[in-house]
Amino acid sequence: MKKKIVVICGPTGVGKTGFAIELARRLNGEIISADSMQIYKYMDIGTAKPDMAERALAPHHLIDFLEPDEEFDAGRYIELADQAVNDLYTRSKLPIIAGGTGLYIKALLHGLFRDRIANADVIERLENEMAQKGSHHLHERLSAVDPQSASRIHPNDGFRIVRALEVAEVTGSPISAFQSEHGFATCRYTPLKIALHMERERLYQRIEKRVEMMVEQGFVQEVESLISKGYGCELKSMQSIGYRHICEFLNGSLLQGSTVASHGDSVSSASWSETIRLLKRDTRRYAKRQLTWFRQDKEMIWLAPDATDQAEELIRNFLN
């Protein structure tokens, strides 16, 4: 018998954290995060990481354990999430996988297509080239050999670009072809998959409000603190939505040398306004991409964020 797990997913800002915590409290569950950014230490505000009060309501796993300059991928996520699920089962707890990183959820449920060890020499050469010429340079090459993968991988995501190029170079076939052949049909668990949704205009308003709250909570200072700890803006973790925008702000690409917003009067208000505008816009676009990803799954049950009673009934029926 495959272990039963509950998946709670959906776009950023929709209310997954509170929804999952409430269900964990009602159903003797604990939460295994499926968020590719909440794994990092010191990155709390920009990732909307559950605070200590929320973690006291329901234990969380796979958050706040990795240094911002450490590499992490879906394969490692599967390994650690499997361990967490097994631990919860030994303690008769319900595993609730909650987060918005669709790749992690898909990998946990269906595994990864790769059945060969990556060529370390090719990886090292590509990483050296990226260090010299930048990830955008390699992304252009990926667009030529595997346009399908290039369209899905952000030009700043050097880790995935290098892995995709390594597969294409060593095997002679694009990584997208292997992924398609894999099919992701076999499921490693028996899941109940719930996705949260709301009217798009309301979601976008929540996203914009959350961006404003992040700034009020000290998002700029959080990024400054990360930089002071030696975590540079070139890191993959610092190139994510929000951190990238604040880095550009601090580096003066939008301010033309002015001091940072949190420091007051010498700041160009127009430049700070543009930073916030771009951050809100890019977060909205990210939420739209998440919705597109989750809607591809025909097994997904779509609920409103306040439908915890309905979700509880579904889960109890699923478990019985």
Average pLDDT of the segment spanning 259-266: 41
85, exposed or middle or buried, with CB in 10 Å at 0-12, 13-18, 19+?
buried
Q: Is 20's pLDDT higher than 70?
A: yes
- Would you list the domain boundaries of the chain? 4-113+184-199+293-319, 120-179, 202-286
pLDDT digits (tens, 9 = 90+) for 27-52: 999 999 999 999 999 999 999 999 99
Give residues with Cβ within 8 angstroms of 257, minimum separation 6.
Answer: none
Contact yes or no for 254/270 (Cβ under 8 A): no
Average pLDDT of the segment spanning 77-104: 97
65, exposed or middle or buried, with CB in 10 Å at 0-12, 13-18, 19+?
middle
Q: Is 263's pLDDT higher than 50?
A: no
Based on C-alpha coordinates, what's the Rg of the chain? 20
pTM of structure: 0.79
Average pLDDT of the segment spanning 221-233: 97
Average pLDDT of the segment spanning 217-224: 97
Q: Is 262's pLDDT higher than 60?
A: no
Confidence of residue 127 (pLDDT cuts 50, 70, 90): confident
Q: Of 112 and 76, which is predicted with more confidence?
A: 76
Residue 118 to residues 79, 165, 300, 302: CA-CA distances in angstroms? 17, 11, 33, 38
Contact yes or no for 303/194 (Cβ under 8 A): yes
Give the CATH class of 120-179: mainly alpha
Residue in the block written with tokens 């915890």: 308
Q: Which CATH code fits 4-113+184-199+293-319?
A: 3.40.50.300
Average model confidence (pLDDT) across the chain: 90
CATH code matching the domain that covers 202-286, chosen among 3.30.70.150, 1.10.287.890, 3.20.10.10, 1.10.10.10: 1.10.287.890
Confidence of residue 214 (pLDDT cuts 50, 70, 90): very high
Average pLDDT of the segment spanning 11-22: 98
d(CA 248, CA 251): 5
